[in-house]
Structure 1
Amino acid sequence: MSTMKIKKGDTVKVITGKDKDKEGKVIVVNKKNNTVLVEGLNMIKKHTKPSMSNQNGGIVHQEGPIDISNVMYLHKGKPTRVGFKMDGDKKVRFAKSTGEAID
């Protein structure tokens, strides 16, 4: 299993699909399915039954998963590809457009 180039908390831009050109912050990264949940994007309606926590039930709006190949990391406001390089003994992510280390 390869390492994920996008992490929780990153700001990303959607490059394909119904939310194309929209930006948001990554909430959850699912390594198993190669998907991400982005704050406020790919909103879906989920029908819930009444339960102890939700007395009325009803329709809930929540974020749906987006395939990780459909989003790009935003570095200084511009979408860029992400790579890995060794910085001394540490493996760091870097923006391929500028060559700067991300974290």
Structure 2
Amino acid sequence: MKRIRTRLKKSDKVKVIAGKDKGKEGNVISFVPEKDRVIVEGVNVIKKHVKASETTKGGIVEKEAPIHISNVMLVCPHCNKPTRIGVKFLESGEKVRYCKKCGETI
């Protein structure tokens, strides 16, 4: 299985472009790299039945489930639109991400 190389990072604001939560926005909480998935805040919320233990209370817990990385797109903080991400090097040699729509660095 081929891995998808992503340019997303934790706490990036993303928009869901496919699936049952299409159109929702949220911040990236974490990655599941071996399955090419991300967990986005407030997106793909499921109900999980949890058994009580000594430290936690049992019941039905709502939590975010992973969503495939190809179904999310970064929202540019400058133009506030979903965009692809490019990478370029500055004169100082620093590697930065940039918005393919407006050209601003992210």
1:100 is aligned to 104
The 1:2/1:20 distance shift into structure 2, 3 A limit, reads closer
In the alignment, the residues of structure 2 paired with residue 41 and residue 48 of structure 1 have an alpha-carbon distance, to the nearest angstrom, of 20
In the alignment, the residues of structure 2 paired with residue 72 and residue 29 of structure 1 have an alpha-carbon distance, to the nearest angstrom, of 14
In the alignment, the residues of structure 2 paired with residue 47 and residue 71 of structure 1 have an alpha-carbon distance, to the nearest angstrom, of 27
In the alignment, the residues of structure 2 paired with residue 45 and residue 80 of structure 1 have an alpha-carbon distance, to the nearest angstrom, of 31
User: One-letter code of the match for 2:33?
Assistant: K
The structure where strand makes up a greater share of residues is 1
Q: Which runs of 5+ in 2 are unaligned?
A: none
Identity of aligned residues (%): 51
* Secondary structure of the corresponding residue to residue 41 of structure 1: coil
Q: Which runs of 5+ in 1 are unaligned?
A: none
In the alignment, the residues of structure 2 paired with residue 98 and residue 29 of structure 1 have an alpha-carbon distance, to the nearest angstrom, of 27
Q: CA deviation at 1:3?
A: 4.8
Q: How do 1:74-85 residues align onto structure 2 when only pairs under 5 Å count? A: 74-75=75-76, 76-85=79-88
Q: CA deviation at 1:92?
A: 0.9
Query: TM-score if structure 1 supplies the norm length?
Result: 0.89
